[in-house]
Structure 1
Amino acid sequence: MADKRRFDLFADFLVERFSAPRVFDVAGGQGKLNEALTKRGRAVTTFDLRHKHLPVQYAQRIFTLEEPCEAELVVGMHPDGATRIIIQYAAAHRLPFAVVPCCSDNGMPYNPWMRHLAELARESGFTTVEEVKLSMDGRARVIVGEHGPATPATGA
């Protein structure tokens, strides 16, 4: 059974870790993470196909790499098949990401899936890729990817 505190615990982690004022919540279901982050002062847009959702900023569509970049952080709480797109989108726009995977989108067992996602992030150019565990029941491992500071170009 899923931990009912998961959205608040993940929101607390995100607010403590990232100063990002605008957040994309990908495959966010009813918008409970959005609601938790909004209460903590963040501007959040949730992307999902659900018709019934909380009264939060909600884009009722599938999140794609073509989505205009209007956020400083991309996140997902148990985003099922959208886990990879979160990492790919964040890499393409040099944004940090944090995702709590619950299952793979290809039937891969959980631990190999977590290793695969971390490797995907490294291969996508993230200089920091780490795993953090939230203090909750169920799938509580967060994969975080961040880019290091941009290095200035040197002239000859």
Structure 2
Amino acid sequence: MADKRRFELFARFLVDRFDARRVFDVAGGQGKLNEALSALGREVTTFDLRHKRLPVRYAERIFGLEEPCECDLVVGMHPDGATRVIIEYAAKHRLPFAVVPCCSDNGMPYNPWRRHLAGLATELGFPVVEEVDLPMDGRGRVVLGSFEPPRG
């Protein structure tokens, strides 16, 4: 069962870790991460195809590499098949990213998938690639990449 605090925990982690005002939340479902980040003073756009959603800034479309770069950080909480696109988009625009992967888009088991994502980020030129555990039940390991060392 998913941890009901996951969006608030991830939002707090993102705010503490990154100096980013504008955030793209990719494959963000109903917009719960958007809501949590907005409550912490961030300007967030959620990308997803959901018709039923929270009243947050929402782009009802699939996120792709051609999306204009109007953010300082790209994130995904259990973004399923969009996980790889988040990393590729961030690399293309030299932005930091943070994803909490849950499953792969190619049937790869969870731990090898996480390692694959970290390796992809390294291959795409991120000098800082890390994995950090969120204090939550379920799949709460963050894979993140940045072009600058962590704050604090």
Same topology, TM > 0.5: yes
1:153 alignment partner in structure 2: none
Question: Is the counterpart of residue 107 in structure 1 residue 98 in structure 2?
Answer: no
Instruction: Provide, for residues 19-60 of structure 1, a one-character-per-residue CA deviation record: whole Å limited to 9, x for no partner.
Output: 100000000000000000000000000000000100000000
Partners of 1:40 and 1:141 lie apart in 2 by 21
1:138 alignment partner in structure 2: 138
Structure 2 stretches lacking a partner, 5+ long: none
Partners of 1:7 and 1:112 lie apart in 2 by 24
1:91 alignment partner in structure 2: 91
2:50 alignment partner in structure 1: 50
1:154 alignment partner in structure 2: none
Structure 1 stretches lacking a partner, 5+ long: 150-156
SS state at 1:46 partner = strand
**Amino acid paired to 2:92:** A
Instruction: Provide, for residues 108-152 of structure 1, a one-character-per-residue CA deviation record: whole Å limited to 9, x for no partner.
Output: 000100110000000000000000000000000000100148xxx
Partners of 1:119 and 1:35 lie apart in 2 by 31
Q: TM-score, normalised by structure 1?
A: 0.94
- Identity, in percent, stands at 79
Partners of 2:146 and 2:22 lie apart in 1 by 16
SS state at 2:144 partner = strand
2:39 alignment partner in structure 1: 39
Partners of 2:71 and 2:138 lie apart in 1 by 28
2:7 alignment partner in structure 1: 7
1:20 alignment partner in structure 2: 20
SS state at 1:25 partner = strand
Query: Which stretch of the first structure deviates more once superposed, 67-76 or 139-148?
Result: 139-148
How many pairs does the alignment contain? 149
Q: TM-score, normalised by structure 2?
A: 0.97
